[in-house]
Amino acid sequence: MNGWEEAVVSPDVTVRDALSTLDRAGTKVLLVADSYRRLLGTVSDGDIRRALLKGQDLSSRVDAVMNTVPHSALTSDSGASILSMMRRDSLMQIPIVDADGIVLGLKTINDFLTSARRDNWVVVMAGGLGSRLRELTRSTPKPMLHVGPRPLLETIVMNCVDQGFTRIYIAVNYLAEQIQDHFGDGAAFGADIRYLVEEQRMGTAGALGLLPERPTLPIVVTNADVLTKQTFCTMVDAHDKGGADITIGVRDYEVQVPFGVIQADGGRVAGIVEKPVHRHTISAGMNVVSPDMLDLVPPGVFFDMPSLFMAAVDRGLAVRTFGVESYWLDVGQPHEYERANADFANLFA
């Protein structure tokens, strides 16, 4: 990142001066280095707040509040390995040092992403109550529950940025401030994050009516409780190529009856099928919506995605499906939440 040198401070500066430097440098972290520029530690706004709560004050030296075991990467490390480490440990910025620990740079996660920029907006529906996970969501909105080392919503945002989608709207309602405080304006995550604040619950499509302006390109609309490896790029490309007005991400879903099923006619048994499996095509909670479809969303009322789909179908518009074949999991039930955490290390770390 340009101007990273402004983020380097000596260990004897005060916390007050460190805060001023953080603001001036425009970084999320300061690099504490000795007179030879050897990295001694890092200091973030969060480090300072925690130290103040523990009794430090603004006149304290910054080395009293710094993280003394900071993450760093060597100049010899490949971009892929640095990106992997940043994803694994939920890092948005990382100092670059040589073999002697001398600071040579400060990189953001965007420096290692290679995806082409996509100008389509992403709208993440994160305003639900999380009722099915009530024991976990009494004081935490479901999208902020940790799956692996980070909140589920953070993984969704990171995946969007990885794919080149940086304009992200998050619809919030229940415990909205926790989401807003965590993500802020999105700069720390390489995104431009804005919020659609629902004064009342508006369903999985109603918040689209809160968009401050009409998009010029199709938008991706996804639920905030979906953990997936499916890329939105391929969905958007299929939407454009197929001339669709709405593209619904779908997935095959099997339900096995745990009993033998009797086939009978007028009381006469014709056969028995042992534990049959029924296959259905379900909505995967990931969709692409063309701008004109926003005219079908009634303002200020509860409105869900199936209602939007059917409003388009009733008007003879092109509503198409896109098969989600990559890993996909709806993190809605306690057993699904447990599975998401079990799967995360192998698939997303």
* Structural domains present in the chain: 4-112 (3.10.580.10), 122-347 (3.90.550.10)
Please determine, for residue 113, whether its predicted confidence score (pLDDT) is greater than 80: no
> How confident is the model over 181-227, as pLDDT tens digits?
999 999 888 899 999 999 999 999 999 999 999 999 999 999 999 99
How far apart, in whole angstroms, are the C-alpha atoms of residue 86 and residue 82?
Answer: 6
Average pLDDT, the chain: 93
Please determine, for residue 2, whether its predicted confidence score (pLDDT) is greater than 70: no
The pLDDT of residue 233 is 95
Over pLDDT 70: what percentage of the chain? 99
Mean pLDDT to the nearest integer, 136-156: 94
Instruction: Check residue 74 and give left, alpha or beta (phi > 0: left; psi -120 to 50: alpha).
Output: beta
CA 104 vs CA 26, 31, 109: distances in Å:
18, 11, 16
Query: To which H or E segment does residue 30 belong?
Result: strand 29-33
CA 204 vs CA 123, 173, 231, 274: distances in Å:
10, 12, 20, 38
In the block, tokens 């939440």 appear at 337
User: Both tokens of residue 242?
Assistant: 């197929």
The pLDDT of residue 175 is 96
Query: To which H or E segment does residue 269 belong?
Result: strand 268-274
Nearest of 258, 259, 235, 266 to residue 248 by alpha carbon? 235
In this structure, the strands spanning 319-323 and 246-256 are parallel
Please determine, for residue 1, whether its predicted confidence score (pLDDT) is greater than 60: no
Mean pLDDT to the nearest integer, 3-20: 93
How far apart, in whole angstroms, are the C-alpha atoms of residue 129 and residue 76?
Answer: 47
Mean pLDDT to the nearest integer, 302-330: 97
Which residues, at least 6 apart from 210, have a Cβ–Cβ distance to it below 8 Å? 171, 196, 197, 198, 202
